[in-house]
Amino acid sequence: MSEGSLDGLVVIDLSRALAGPHAGQMLGDLGARVIKVEAPGSGDDTRGWGPPFVAGADGGSYSTYFLSCNRNKESIALDLKSDDGRDVLRRLIARADVVIENFRTGVMERLGFGTATLAELNPSLVQLSITGFGHDGPEADRAGYDQIVQGEAGLMSLTGSGAEDPQRVGTPIADLLGGIHGVVGVLAALVERAKTGRGRVVRTSLLSSIVGVHAFQGTRVTVAGETPLAQGNHHPSIAPYGLFPCRDGAVQISVGNERLWTALCGEFELDPATPGLASNPERVAHHSQTLEFVSAAFAEHDAAPLLERLRSAGIPAGKVRTLPEVYEWEQVASQGLLVDVEHAALGGITLPGPPIRFFDVGTSGETERSRTKHVAPPTLNQHDAVIRAWLEEE
């Protein structure tokens, strides 16, 4: 695992489920050595989350959920209530640059590894703690699960066909954003450590990660005093912007300015100055009329030629792909979003890849320096001997 911008950094990943493991995976993708500490026997909770499970050559069943968030890591199983487990963890902490945990508030202290203890073991350590609702405040002790937080943080009220149809996002977005925000904090703390020599405690939560991406929906509340509600596949502030039916399916368009509105109307022989539709604020105010106006223009067209016509006219447009279609798409492959790895029990498998690429810029142009070799998610305790031998090295 020598490729990547964070080559040489050691991360101890004490987390389980998704937010913390996703943060650890991101740091591993960037080149850090990530050592995942798991419970003996069962390991990370997600090893048991399924179906789907995939049968391994060793007779075991492997969760595709676990495989999604643990590439580029090593695994060691430690009983943190045993003398050996605590001793090995102390030695790992002493040699680490970053530790990640997403236990409920107070658990690390009860295990004997609170923030003060970790800082004493390693004053330069960057500690990342991800909780459900924050480590302090009146509801700090609540367990954080993605769908519950999506509801509590207001995201489900914005998602669905209407106000009476709250829906969760189709991926565990609170967990994923918690991990991403955690990595941002870790990288900032590492930059600061390079100047001060001292570590930091970085804290984020699933709650703060969702509230932190409310974006314009948040300022509708805090500044305009409005209550945003779900309105399906159409934008609350831009029109037309969303999913529109056509003869054999549907297409998506984004008309983000008046130039695009004029181009759309010109392509389909519509009057851009139609009363009630002449400007974006009018089109938003007359939402139903806007939808009917565009839908009528698309009704006699099939999706594929309609998309070509929209693109030729310069209108941002696209279709809704299934995930198999996404992973078969040449553009996805071109961006390095598929990686082939060799799993200890499953053999060769393909995983969704990291979303960041790196380039050097010279007089002859850009040269890609992205990580090209990735390591499969580990089997439970796969690297016990390797990690213990490393701890014996001076």
What is the tens place of the pLDDT at every residue in 82-95? Answer: 999 999 999 999 99
Which pair of tokens denotes residue 247? 């003869």
**Catalytic residue positions, numbered:** 175
Residue 188's nearest CA partner among 135, 133, 128, 100 is: 128
Residue 387's nearest CA partner among 13, 59, 128, 57 is: 13
Q: What is the pLDDT of residue 394?
A: 64
Maximum CA extent, the chain:
78
pLDDT digits (tens, 9 = 90+) for 84-126: 999 999 999 999 999 999 998 889 999 999 999 999 999 999 9
pLDDT > 80? residue 2: no
pLDDT digits (tens, 9 = 90+) for 273-328: 999 999 999 999 999 999 999 999 999 999 999 999 999 999 999 999 999 999 99
CATH superfamily of 241-318: formyl-coa transferase, domain 3 (3.30.1540.10)
Specify the CATH number for 10-215+371-392; select among 3.20.20.300, 3.40.50.10540, 1.20.1440.230, 1.10.220.10: 3.40.50.10540
CB 110 within 8 A of CB 183: no
Where b means 16+ CB within 10 Å and e means fewer, 238-251 reads ebbbbebebeeebb
Domain boundaries, the chain: 10-215+371-392, 241-318
Question: Beta strands of 199-275 (E only): which ranges?
Answer: 201-205, 241-246, 249-254
Q: What is the pLDDT of residue 328?
A: 97
CB 160 within 8 A of CB 230: yes
Measured CA to CA, the distance from residue 18 to residue 156 in angstroms comes to: 20
Q: How many CA atoms lie within 13 A of 69 on its CB side?
A: 25
Of 74-78, 98-102, 362-366, the one with minimum mean pLDDT is: 362-366
Average pLDDT, the chain: 95
DSSP 223: T
Q: What is the pLDDT of residue 72?
A: 97
User: Per DSSP, what are the bridge partners of residue 246?
Assistant: 249
Measured CA to CA, the distance from residue 202 to residue 227 in angstroms comes to: 32
pLDDT digits (tens, 9 = 90+) for 334-356: 999 999 999 999 999 999 999 99
> Average pLDDT in the 123-130 region?
98
Measured CA to CA, the distance from residue 13 to residue 20 in angstroms comes to: 8
Measured CA to CA, the distance from residue 348 to residue 43 in angstroms comes to: 22
Q: What is the pLDDT of residue 372?
A: 84
Residue 86's nearest CA partner among 113, 109, 125, 123 is: 113
CB 250 within 8 A of CB 244: yes
pLDDT digits (tens, 9 = 90+) for 201-240: 999 999 999 999 999 999 999 999 999 999 899 999 999 9
Residue 214 CB partners (closer than 8 Å, separation 6+): 154
Q: What band does 363 get if pLDDT is binned at 50, 70 and 90?
A: confident
Q: What band does 1 get if pLDDT is binned at 50, 70 and 90?
A: very low
Measured CA to CA, the distance from residue 284 to residue 48 in angstroms comes to: 47
CB 11 within 8 A of CB 20: no
